[in-house]
Chains A and B, each alone.
Chain A
Amino acid sequence: MTKKWFNCFLRESDREAPSPCPSTLLNAFLVALFILLIFIFSFSRLEYDFHWAGVWAYRAKFIRGLGMTLVLSFFSLIVSFLLRSLFALGQKSRFLPFYFFSRFYVEIIRGTPLLVQILVFFYVIADAFRVQNRYVTGVMILSLFAGAYISEIIRAGIDSIGETQLETARSLGLTRFQQYRFIIFPQVFKRILPPLAGQLVSLIKDSSLLSIISVSEFTLNAQEVNAYTYSTLESYLPLALGYLLITYPISNLSKRLERAFSYET
């Protein structure tokens, strides 16, 4: 009898008999309950008086910040995608300076903390080149940062198109441009959509670091509300929830895309 109910907690492929209960719902509920209990227990030990009213007064500020985060992330994604398509080609380039620049750039950006990059770029480079607008600078930094990762995604995508396909395309008399247009890009685009969506999720969270150069995005607004109201948790919990509200649909979408395109190969 207990064995029968045990099937509720197994993956479909591992079950010995059909599950006697709605498995997905039950398991999701149990996990949520467990996490909730941990939180309830932790908060009950905290001896902290929540003052939501003070923070609630600043709700418009949260929403404006969230909007700014979305705008920054969106533009950064576009700019980095354009820039990086170039760099992905650069890494395949036969022209050595271009090749080394691409490799250098990817290694440096991926090997150093974003926080340091933001500080150096804003206080040193942007300042030297007299770029005053911190929002423009912010988008530039995020684009450069995300771009290093995106260029790896694109390069891997191009590499994943087999040499035999390109040979076939040549044997059919296609020009190099036609090979990219009809054979490489359509396939690469589909293959890199899922990791690209994942990269957007990281980008949205990473944009919170722009608060250190006073870009008025989501995190900075939460920090300010905290400073006005002295209600730390009341300011930061909505912050976490807000990020989750944007990132969850995107990572969900990316998983769906991955499944949708997986039959191709």
Chain B
Amino acid sequence: MKLDIRGLSKAFDEKKVLSDISLHLDGIRSLVIIGPSGGGKSTFLRILAGLLVPEAGEVIINGKPIPTEESSLREYRKTMGMVFQSYNLFPHMTAVENIMLPLVHVHGYGQEEAREHAMGLLARFQLSLHAEKKPALLSGGQKQRVAIARAVAVSPSFLLFDEPTSALDPEFTSEVLDVIEELREEGKDLILVTHEMGFARIVSDYALFLDEGTVAAAGTPEEIFDYPAEERLRLFLAKVLKY
């Protein structure tokens, strides 16, 4: 994945959330973003997802700039897959219907074809038994895996994860992280915001530390996690790794 960001800024009601971020990355397979709450991680990811439009600057992914017009943004969103912190499955649809919805209504699959494809993915994530259950009957880990299956189903050119394990009970964390690790090994490009430092260390081949709306530190996992040079990053890691 090639990521080119120039002068990216975003504010909500006068409050600057991202200020003038520039970044050039090439040949990255998995990018991990860490940082304190309110540091701009989620906003950054939402801009990459085409859900928020920045005030200034531009983002070019794999040579294509992210559009700013709603109609072309919608086309852009079809090409990526996003997984949210709170699963965000639609509560009135079963697991398999959740996966089928974008396939049928956004990507032009037939009903049968979509069902077959969705069932295949559920089988792969050991969720076949739960295909006809509504989200209320699934555990947090199962819901998040269904959400990942939904994002993967449309064969996106890359995947975005917004703290995919933060809302989970600890016992379910590893089953979700296993799936993400598996996708990475398969060669899917991914960008991941996470508080799981151990996992971030293993899965990333490049990491960003976002603090107060800027990229306070960036580098390989060794540079970020093993030999942090930047003072704020050191403090942050000391805090999250204390216990």
Contacts and interface: CB of A to CB of B under 8 A. Distances in A.
Interface stretch (B83-91, B121-129, B176-184, B218-226): B83-91
A174 B84 contact: no
Nearest to B150: A172
Residue from A167, A170, A171, A174 having most chain B Cβ neighbours under 10 A: A171
Task: Using C-beta atoms within 8 Å of the partner chain, give the interface range for chain B.
Answer: 20 to 34
A264 B91 CA distance: 6
A248 interface: no
Overall SS of chain A's interface: helix
B106 A174 contact: yes
B91 A187 contact: yes
Interface in A13-59: none
A264 B105 contact: no
Overall SS of chain B's interface: loop
Interface residues of A, number: 20
Given A170-B51, A171-B84, 14 more contacts: A165-B90, A167-B88, A168-B82, A168-B88, A168-B90, A169-B90, A170-B77, A171-B49, A171-B82, A174-B102, A187-B90, A187-B91, A187-B92, A264-B92
Nearest to B105: A178
A178 B106 CA distance: 9
5 contacts: A172-B77, A172-B150, A173-B78, A173-B106, A174-B101
B74 A173 contact: yes
Contacts of A165: 88, 90
Nearest to A263: B136
Contacts of B107: 173
A213 interface: no
A190 B92 contact: yes
B102 A172 contact: yes
A190 B77 CA distance: 29
B136 to A, nearest CB: 6
B91 A164 contact: no
Given A182-B101, A187-B92, A172 B136 contact: no
A182 B136 contact: no
Contacts of B150: 172
